[in-house]
Structure 1
Amino acid sequence: MQKMTAAQTVLLVAGRELKVSLRAKGTIITTAIMVAAIIGGLFLIKFLGSAPTSTFGALDDTQEVAQISAQTLESQGIEAQVISYTSVEEGRAAVEAGDIEGLIVRTGNDITLDVNESADPQLLTAITGAAQQDGVKNLATQYGSEVVTAVTDVFTNPIAVNVLNPPTELDGSQMAVGFIVGFLLYLGIFGGGMAVAQGVVEEKSSRVVEILLASIKPWQLLAGKVIGIGLSSLIQVATYVIAAVVTATALGITKDFSFDIASVGVWVLIWFLIGYLVYALIFAALGALVSRQEDLGTVIMLPMMLVVIAYLIGVSVAPNAPDSLIVQIASYVPFTSPIVMPIRSAYGVASTPEVMAAIGIGLVTIPLLLWLCAKIYSNGVRRSGAKIKLKDALKAS
């Protein structure tokens, strides 16, 4: 029988890990729940998160005031609807019945808003502004437009503001997508890394690893495990991304986005691969230091904290200060950039050179980690019993 090459051995191990991971009940249930949550959440955003509306009435002599008020409300993101009535009595009956929020009534040169119990503040502000414009128009008719305009300008013109360092403003869609991107990457990277660590400990505690190492090298086992579980995790994350992009597009949620949602999805997958490889190697190496699942938490605390810190910077600090020093530093550090940089990209504040530089740093870090983690894994996975110190695992076999 012909001996397998190193590549064939790695692929064999990877194929086994991929099959086991994809067939696991936990993987199937988690994926189904996440897809259902993503689709359900987008439906809620579509049908429960629609723009607020304001419906009010006007008579023939207040139509102009009503239209100006409607324009003001719509500029604030409120859908305004004006209903015309032929008499005050008819309009007030509609107010009392709850059909409209208020009725605009003119008495001489005065404008009033008839409401049932209380006036909506935004509607009242809009109508007040429209009534003031109507009053200026009436005064212009009596005293001349030039005089009235000059006097009005003195009292209404705001002082000019010159902003020297305008802050980066993010729209609601960017904020939402950035949060989802961060969550998916956190879930995929952390979940994949934990699966690798638990798999290493399981094989070590059951002595299966001793049988495997009799025929293959430790680094081949490590590479196969990382690749196999990584492919399974990639399929999961890709499923979430596809579900989100397709559902959001089908519901028309993305039509007003200032960015391409599909390209964001592609970048999520690219950054997941980089982040997963960085953390999976670390989790695998540290997992080889213990022989019991109960002891696993004590050795993987540091990488767990790094993933959480990256997530918190991405979803807590970046939305308010996407160009702050801590966010920019985290965008390049290979242990935080896989989560922080794609969030900044979703916000539209990361330039192409910045993204390419962060990817380059990540790609350079991976082979260095592979060399270091393979050494720790190789020396640690052969020993059973008590927890192994990191410095002992780093020593040559």
Structure 2
Amino acid sequence: MRNILLVIRREYLVRVKKRSFLIMTLLAPLLFVGFYASVIWVAIGSVDTKTVQVLDESGLFNQKFRDTEAMRFTYLHSSIDSAKSDFKSGGANALVYIPKNIIDSPKSVRIYAAKNVSMDLKSEIEKVIEKQIEDVKLREAGITVKVLEDARVNVDSSTISLSDEGEKTSSSGAATVIGGICAFLIYMSVFIYGTQVMRGITEEKTSRVVEVIISSVKPFQLMMGKIIGVALVGLTQFLLWITLTTALSSATSAIVSQQMAKESPELAQEMKKMQKGMPGQGMPGGEVDNPIGEVMGAIESLNIPLILGCFLFYYLGGYLLYSALFGAIGAAVDSDSDTQQFMLPITLPIIFSFVFAQFVLRDPDGTLAFWTSIIPFTSPIIMMVRIPFGVPAWEIVLSMTLLILGFMGTTWLAARIYRVGILMYGKKVTYRELIKWVFYK
């Protein structure tokens, strides 16, 4: 045990002290927060106001186009030829021509511009014209706009879980997002850190450093030390990413709120109302149409401690299971180029798990979801997709037990290959050769 701890300490410190580790640990949260901050900044402060001229020969659209922060509309009362000749010198961005027969020929609208107009501008113009034509035709048919609006109903259902503890509000949207994120993080970590174990063993083998290490440490102890050491590096990086991202997000949110209050006080006031859940804003009976409140409520409806605990277990279990096999490959080959022939059988279950996760999100209690969340090679990803939706305790216990047994099995198998392959040089290894190594005494 002492030798394993020494190897763990060495693997952990060597990787944590690397400049690349420090740079990526600091850079990833900065890039993540910077990306979203730039998107918000651009959305708030870089909207160029477009001037649009409207020539309406039908007379149906006078003052129907509403000015926004992005678009300003001016109305012309001249001929189309005169409007087109004056357009270039007028400085407008677009000229909308609506002919007299617009009701009978809705496709006769023309939009003139020095360059191609944006899809937003084109869509906004078409939306206004479509609504006005619809209103005219309804009036001609004897149907008022109020009758039509009263007939349109938006259904927004709430999902409630019936459990032994009673009724509990749930959110399928939040469960889908949280499950997908957890599955993706495990998927990436298995690839990234499992490959690190394989490359670290291959480098030591090719440099013959391992011959010195093996003289004082057993092969199994060396392999386990590397696997656990790299796992701790991964956990350290994840915790630092979460901490830094949370701190940077809070700071960025405060800065963006201050900037929004300066440049768009009305929008900032609306955001404050939504956050505080002020009554009487947007829904009858004093109910609040509050997107931020809905998101927070959706998150609170999930069993966050269970999700975090299971994520930690399946992150470590999935990593340990696959990193043992990655380590066996690293010991069996002499260079990184030789690892490709052995990578496919190991990576296929991981890839299939990620593909199956898309179907499991649609039916988290189906037969496919159950079996793939029980099999150790797919359970780390699939079970994390299912847990936010609610999984019976016996299924979680069974899945965890089989994952532990699976890790023990892959570790035993990897150790049998590792003890022979770590000192094997200059020989092209085949699958038949690996099977022989497993049964060597």
Report the TM-score range of the alignment, normalised by the length of the smaller protein.
0.5 to 0.7
Q: Matches of residues 197-236 of structure 1 in structure 2 within 5 Å?
A: 197-236=198-237
Give the distance between the partners of 1:207 and 1:20, measured in 2 at CA.
18
Aligned to 1:331: 373
Instruction: Measure the CA separation in 1 of the matches of 2:402 and 2:212.
Output: 37
Q: Are residues 1:286 and 2:256 paired?
A: no
Paired residues for 1:21-100 under 5 Å: 21-40=15-34, 93=63, 95-98=65-68
Give % identity. 24
Residue 353 of structure 1 is matched in structure 2 by 394
Q: Secondary structure of the residue that 1:319 maps to in structure 2?
A: helix
Distance 1:30 1:391 in 2: 39
How far residue 296 of structure 1 moved from its aligned partner, in angstroms, is 1.5
Distance, in Å, in 2 between the alignment partners of 1:257 and 1:135 is 35
CA shift, 1:173, in A, is 3.0
Native 8 Å contact 1:226 1:280 kept in 2: yes
What SS is found at the alignment partner of 2:298?
coil
Pair 1:265–1:29, CA change in 2 (3 A): farther
Equivalent residues in 2 for 1:259-270 (5 A)? 259-260=301-302, 262-263=304-305, 264-270=307-313
* Contact kept? 2:3, 2:217, Cα under 8 Å: yes
Contact preservation (8 Å) 2:64, 2:128: no
Indicate whether 1:386 and 2:356 are aligned.
no
Once residues 171 and 246 of structure 1 are traced to their aligned partners in structure 2, the CA distance between those partners, rounded to angstroms, is: 28
Q: Letter of the aligned partner of 1:295 in structure 2?
A: D
Residues 25-57 of structure 1 deviation map (CA, whole Å, 9 limit, x = unaligned): 33333333432344346658988999xxxxxxx
Going from structure 1 to structure 2, the CA distance change for 1:361 and 1:242 (only over 3 Å counts) comes to farther
Distance 1:294 1:358, change over 3 A: same
SS at match of 1:97: coil
Q: How does 1:81-160 map to 2 (within 5 A)?
A: 93=63, 95-98=65-68, 117-119=125-127, 134-135=146-147
Deviation by residue 1:189-211 (Cα, 9 ceiling, x = unmatched):
11111011111111111111111
Structure 1's 221 and 121: CA in aligned 2 closer, same or farther, altered over 3 A? farther
Shift of 1:372: 2.0
**Displacement, 1:121?**
11
The one of 340, 353, 362 aligned to 2:403: 362
Write the distance in 2 (CA, Å) between the matches of 1:220 and 1:308: 30
Name the SS for the 2:332 alignment partner: coil
For residues 31 and 348 of structure 2, the distance between their equivalents in structure 1, rounded to whole angstroms, comes to 26
Superposition deviation, residue 215 in structure 1: 1.3
Return 387-396 or 14-23, whichever deviates more.
Answer: 387-396
Aligned counterparts of 2:298 and 2:334: Cα–Cα separation in 1: 50
Cα RMSD after superposing both structures: 4.0
Q: 3-state DSSP class of the match of 2:296?
A: coil
- Of residues 313, 318, 321, the one that matches 2:360 is 318
CA distance in 2, matches of 1:220, 1:343: 34
Once residues 323 and 185 of structure 1 are traced to their aligned partners in structure 2, the CA distance between those partners, rounded to angstroms, is 21
- Listed one character per residue, the Cα deviations across residues 122-167 of structure 1 (whole Å, up to 9, x for unaligned) are 989xx99xx869559xxxxxxxxxxxxxxx99xx99xxxxxxxxxx
For the residues of structure 2 that align with 1:120 and 1:365, how far apart are their CA atoms? Answer: 62
State the AA in 2 paired with 1:335: F
Secondary structure, aligned partner of 1:215: coil
AA matched with 2:394: P
Q: Which amino acid in the other structure matches residue 119 of structure 1?
A: K
- Aligned residue number for residue 271 of structure 1: 314
The answer to whether 1:179 aligns with 2:180 is yes
- Deviation of 1:94 after TM superposition, in Å, equals 7.7
Q: CA deviation at 1:232?
A: 0.4
Conservation of the 8 A alpha-carbon contact between 1:38 and 1:243:
no
1:304 CA drift (Å): 1.5
Aligned equivalent of 2:384: 342
1:181 positional shift: 1.4
1:306 aligns with 2:349: yes
| Structure 1 counterpart of 2:408, one-letter code | P
When residues 211 and 226 of structure 1 are mapped into structure 2, their CA distance, relative to the original with a 3 A threshold, is same
Instruction: Determine if contact 1:334/1:365 at 8 Å carries over to the other structure.
Output: yes
Shift of 1:384: 1.3
| C-alpha separation in 2, matches of 1:123 and 1:34 | 47
Counterparts of 1:387 and 1:248, CA distance in 2? 51
C-alpha distance in 1, partners of 2:27/2:356? 26
TM normalised by structure 2 equals: 0.59
Partners in 2 of 1:270 and 1:120 — Cα distance? Answer: 55
Cα pair 1:18 1:232 within 8 Å, conserved: yes
**Which stretches in structure 2 are left out of the alignment for 5+ residues?**
45-60, 73-123, 154-169, 254-274, 276-291
1:239-297 CA distances to partner (integer Å, 9 max, x unpaired)?
34455667789968651324348533443222111111101111111221101121122
Q: Is the 8 A contact 2:174 2:298 kept in 1?
A: yes
Give the TM-score normalised by structure 1. Answer: 0.65
Q: CA deviation at 1:327?
A: 2.4
SS of alignment partner, residue 359 of structure 1: helix
Partner deviation per Cα, 1:344-382 (whole Å, 9 max, x = no partner): 113x14233322221111112222222222111111112
Amino acid at match of 1:211: V
Q: How many pairs does the alignment contain?
A: 309
* 1:310/1:339 contact within 8 Å kept: yes
